[in-house]
Structure 1
Amino acid sequence: MPPAARPAPPDAVVRNRFLGFLIWQSIPSTLIFLLSALSPSKPPFPFAPWFFAVITFLSFHLSQLLFSASLSLISSTHPHPLLSPLKLSLELIRFLFVPGGSDLTGSPGSRPRVRVTVRFLAFLAAAAVSGSVAAVSVCGELGGGVWGIGRVGFRGFVMGLLYGLYYVYKRRWVLEFPIIQRPPFFSFKMGLPTAITRSLKLSGAAYLVSAILVVFLPHQFHNRVTIERLIAEQITFYIGSFLVFLCWELSHHLHQVLNTKRCIFAPPKGSAAAETNPTEHLLAALEESTPNSLPQYLAYLDLCMICENNVDTWRRAAFFEESGETYKRVVSVCLRPLEQLASKLGDGLESPVNGKSQISNQLLSPTDQRLDSKYSEPFDNFQLYAWCAWSAASLTARSNTEDRFGVAQRSGSNAAVISTLISCLLAVETYMGKKTNVPAQFMGPASIKWATSSVGNVGVAKKRVGPIHPKAYALADVLKNSIYHIVSACHDQMVSSAKTGVLEKYWVIEGKPPFGSHELLVQKLRLFLDFRAS
């Protein structure tokens, strides 16, 4: 294709947003620093005011730049599994002194976990250093010369370390994409009250902890002053810590807003590329991006907006081009994550865990969480699965009225969408402990083994009290709504096919689905047709 039509690399979107974030975060940081300079309780500098004002201004911005860069270091679209401190130490020793060897933990995926854990440790160090520099810049020396600066820097170090631990523990580094996309300025403005409230709470906790730890410093760091001066210093540090926390909270909120806003993967409307192949930009981002990366999530968000809304009808109309290749590629990228989820859940439920049979797994205590880590990882991408289900369902439903060439039916995509959604729903319901039995009229030789197996009973009590059950319940709700969306739009066609006995021919795939059996999918589809699936 000509250079003008060649799509830009998806990673360029992330780089541009990162640079834009670093620029925009300096605006609230500057305003907050100027507000701290007007504080009457801040002690004056003993030398030239303008010189120290410039030095503190630059040091404060450097501290904020360090913290903002560390946010992008650990931010992710889904939670990362981390290593324990013991395993991390063993892996680091192995990496430093025994290069080329196998993992000490025996886990093939431990190396990526080591890299992720190291990034989190680097974030904690960056937050602590940023807190120390920012506290000295905002609060000044607070009396005592160099020892006073050291005392304030130590309290700022503790403050930054506590905030880093809180940030990691609460998983605030996971990007949360809003359901309703608003303009960035409006989204940022809506988060100001929450940022101020949280900053007040965190500054109070950090002030108390740092005040207790500063007692254990050597006597040189302690400042013997009058009661009035001591009170003024404590007030100054509390105000300074609140302003630093407010800067961090605003940076975090701005980082979330800028990285989760919709990115349109399309050529300019009216250009030659928009007339010839307007979908290539989006498909390139969906198919070539790194799995679970931010560009891939932004591409799936853009696809979901196209399929569900009427804002870019010209882009959705391009999906139904006459050859049908574009439609099959779009449906394929929507169904691939759902197929992988159903396969993972099926393999985990049907295979022994830790050398034990399925019967022994049923006897596990409800508080035994040995299987949680195995089952929790597939549900970490809940947002991605929801977008895929909504996109596939909306596109299938709209094909009933917008598909002029009948490519959805001719390509077999309708059957693939319905089969994948139902198969994934069965896998999730089985994980939740819901038993699914096939009536006698639907049972055949191929389904007897599955219907009488104990897959539906594996870990039922444990899963219902586990921490992942809410995600499974939410995903099951999304899948059922998506299937009902298709059934409602194509109900007349499905009922007519059921009466003529060709329902499974046009709406269920012939081969083996990712989970369950062909007969079970037909039975579940009939329940949806009767609006009795729950």
Structure 2
Amino acid sequence: MSIGGDGDMVVKNRFLGFLIWQSVQSTAIFLLCKLLLFSPFTQRPLSPSLAGCVAFLAFQLSLLLFSTSVSVVASPYPDRPASLSELALGLVRLLFVSGGQPLSLDIRRRAKITLSFVLFVTASALSGFLSVVCVGWNCDLSAGLQPWHRLEIIGFRGFAVGFFYGLHSLFKRRWVLEFPIIQRPPFFSFKMGLPSAIGRALKLSGAAYLLSSALAVFLTKEFQGQVTMGKFIAEQIIFYIGIFTVFLCWELSHHLHQVLHTKRFIFAPPKGSAAAETNPSEPLLAVLEESTPRSLLQHLAYLDLCMICESNADTWRRAAFFEETGETYKRVVAVCLRPLEKLASKLDEGLESYSVDKSFQLSHQLQSPTDWQLDSRLLETFYNFQLCAWCARIAASLTVHSHKEDRFGVAQLSGSNAAVISTLMSCLLAVETFMGKKTNLQSPHHLMGPAGIKWAALSTGRRDVTVSSMGKKRGNPQYSKAYSMADILRTSIYHIVSAFHDEMLNSAKAGLLEKDWIISSKPLYGTHEILLQKLRLFLDFRAS
């Protein structure tokens, strides 16, 4: 399969496929609910009517609105939206301070995210209004009310449950695309998620029903007229079934969107074609180098590259990385190390900016360190966790495979092996510092074993206590990601060390370990001495 020119067509085709399959499943749910669940409350459930056809088309239109809003707000990168105060301040600067100059790219990007969130909640509320009305339109809900009064009551409650669902989805960060660890066929992945989607629809529909019932108390028209107990109970049952039907369609749409947009796409020309024989890596590298950062297309390209490097299914594509000139291999390594370099740089900047002066210490001396607000830059550091995890695994797997598959020695001659080891260890040191660990370079007579490295808790000042509490506080949303990232980096380094253990030991005996496996320029984090001692610790299998 080839990308056929513009890589954005990949995302557009998946969006169109999502809309088609969403309409199929929503049609099946609508018909089954009408025939099975609503038939006891309908006089002629099997007889077609113009009102029923209009209700069905309006129901599909409401789900189209919801599905489109889901695709607009969805992103593989959990970026932070702009707050109301930031939006107001930016508007004031735009109108009165900056003299009409455009705002910064960061503010504009986060303002667009906030706008997309507002549109998603609004679309969910409108979709709830229309879909709940359409589902229960032909049912016997007279209960002494006029038709427009029924429409007002049902529509209001549908609007409320849609608004509730939109806020719940944003609060639970369900707009973030999470790529599965194991890639399965789309049908199997969709089938595996059906029980959880149905269970979530039951829970949310119950909570939304109670919320809408509390709000419906203010609709005094609902209680006008003579309402028998039997009709009132039937009305509540019908309304709950309608909410559950709508929520089930929404949950399945969410699940279908995740499945279709996170499955692997192969960025390669067809096997056996002329392009596959000459330069099969160019389509993938073009997307990796030219796609928009943090976009879905970029994530799909990194996922494809990770599958190439870790599995043995596309060995012909991996073999093309080790071509004689070495340019392809250097390009692949460069695109893999770029996110890791940004991770280490951001952590370095964030930890430095977190240094506190005496005035800050005095103003916070009566507060617990765990109550302090984390710096926003440190909170955003692990937003790109998925991409950084893939890059660490790609760099390690590609380096390990070069030990046997690199016939021309381009990995070692180009200095890529040293760049990979140095970047992985710099990232590991930065993440461990964030978690509350610190690497101390000791004098020779204080060395702990041949590695010559000592781990100690940060306790040399207020900044150390703050950083330690930052990483160790379990309420911190980045706590699990920091520890997971450290485990992935540590495993990746061990993967390389295990493959090149004999070569590294020979280099260490000859005094060339730093020259062969550590870059000569300044590391991203730490020093050459720290990296060298850290590498020796891995050689002794004592890094933890």
Is the structural similarity TM-score above 0.5?
A: yes
Which residue does the alignment assign to 1:322? 324
Which residue does the alignment assign to 1:421? 424
Determine whether 1:121 maps to 2:89.
Answer: no
Which residue does the alignment assign to 2:433? 430
Shift of 1:370: 2.4
Which residue does the alignment assign to 1:334? 336
Q: How far apart in 2 are the matches of 1:99 and 1:18?
A: 39
Q: How far apart in 2 are the matches of 1:232 and 1:458?
A: 58
Q: 1:387-398 to 2 correspondence within 5 Å?
A: 387-398=390-401
The answer to whether the Cα contact below 8 Å between 2:345 and 2:525 also exists between their aligned partners in 1 is yes
Q: Deviations over 1:272-309 (max 9, x none)?
A: 11000000000011000111110000000000000000
Shift of 1:127: 0.2
Which residue does the alignment assign to 2:81? 82
Shift of 1:354: 7.8
One-letter amino acid of the counterpart of residue 387, structure 1: W
Q: How far apart in 1 are the matches of 2:386 and 2:319?
A: 25
Q: How far apart in 1 are the matches of 2:501 and 2:254?
A: 46
Shift of 1:181: 0.2
**Which shifted more, 169-178 or 93-102?**
93-102
Q: How far apart in 1 are the matches of 2:324 and 2:360?
A: 50
The answer to whether the Cα contact below 8 Å between 1:22 and 1:65 also exists between their aligned partners in 2 is yes
One-letter amino acid of the counterpart of residue 118, structure 1: L
The answer to whether the Cα contact below 8 Å between 2:3 and 2:267 also exists between their aligned partners in 1 is no
The percent identity for this pair of structures is 61
Match of 2:468 among 451, 460, 473: 460
- C-alpha change, 1:459 and 1:71, in structure 2 (3 Å) is same
The answer to whether the Cα contact below 8 Å between 1:91 and 1:114 also exists between their aligned partners in 2 is no
For these two proteins, the number of residue pairs brought into alignment is: 522
Q: How far apart in 1 are the matches of 2:513 and 2:89?
A: 57
Which residue does the alignment assign to 1:518? 528
**Which shifted more, 364-373 or 276-285?**
364-373
One-letter amino acid of the counterpart of residue 242, structure 2: G
One-letter amino acid of the counterpart of residue 201, structure 2: S
Shift of 1:206: 0.9
Q: 1:159-238 to 2 correspondence within 5 Å?
A: 159-219=161-221, 224-238=226-240
Shift of 1:9: 2.0
Q: Deviations over 1:471-519 (max 9, x none)?
A: 1111000000000000011111111111111111111101101111111
Q: TM-score, normalised by structure 2?
A: 0.90
- C-alpha change, 1:176 and 1:440, in structure 2 (3 Å) is same
Shift of 1:378: 1.2
The answer to whether the Cα contact below 8 Å between 1:304 and 1:390 also exists between their aligned partners in 2 is yes
Q: How far apart in 1 are the matches of 2:470 and 2:186?
A: 42
After TM superposition, what 4+ stretches of structure 1 lie above 6 angstroms from structure 2? 93-99, 354-364, 451-455
Shift of 1:10: 2.1
Shift of 1:49: 4.6
Q: How far apart in 2 are the matches of 1:132 and 1:98?
A: 42
Q: Where in structure 2 are there 5+ consecutive unaligned residues?
A: 447-457
Shift of 1:36: 2.3
SS in 2 for 1:436: strand
Q: How far apart in 2 are the matches of 1:495 and 1:14?
A: 47
Q: How far apart in 1 are the matches of 2:149 and 2:91?
A: 36
One-letter amino acid of the counterpart of residue 421, structure 1: L
The answer to whether the Cα contact below 8 Å between 2:350 and 2:375 also exists between their aligned partners in 1 is no
Which residue does the alignment assign to 2:12? 15
Q: Deviations over 1:39-69 (max 9, x none)?
A: 22444599x9520111011000000000000
SS in 2 for 1:414: helix
One-letter amino acid of the counterpart of residue 425, structure 1: L
Q: 1:102-501 to 2 correspondence within 5 Å?
A: 109-140=106-137, 142-143=141-142, 144-219=146-221, 224-351=226-353, 365-441=368-444, 459-465=467-473, 466-501=476-511
Q: TM-score, normalised by structure 1?
A: 0.91
- C-alpha change, 1:486 and 1:220, in structure 2 (3 Å) is closer
Which residue does the alignment assign to 1:54? 53
- C-alpha change, 1:138 and 1:150, in structure 2 (3 Å) is same
- C-alpha change, 1:488 and 1:216, in structure 2 (3 Å) is same
Q: Deviations over 1:252-281 (max 9, x none)?
A: 000000000001100111111100000000
Q: How far apart in 1 are the matches of 2:318 and 2:358?
A: 49
Q: Where in structure 1 are there 5+ consecutive unaligned residues?
A: 444-450
- C-alpha change, 1:358 and 1:302, in structure 2 (3 Å) is farther
Q: How far apart in 2 are the matches of 1:358 and 1:502?
A: 46
Shift of 1:216: 0.4
Shift of 1:366: 2.4
Q: How far apart in 1 are the matches of 2:40 and 2:236?
A: 10
The answer to whether the Cα contact below 8 Å between 2:149 and 2:221 also exists between their aligned partners in 1 is no
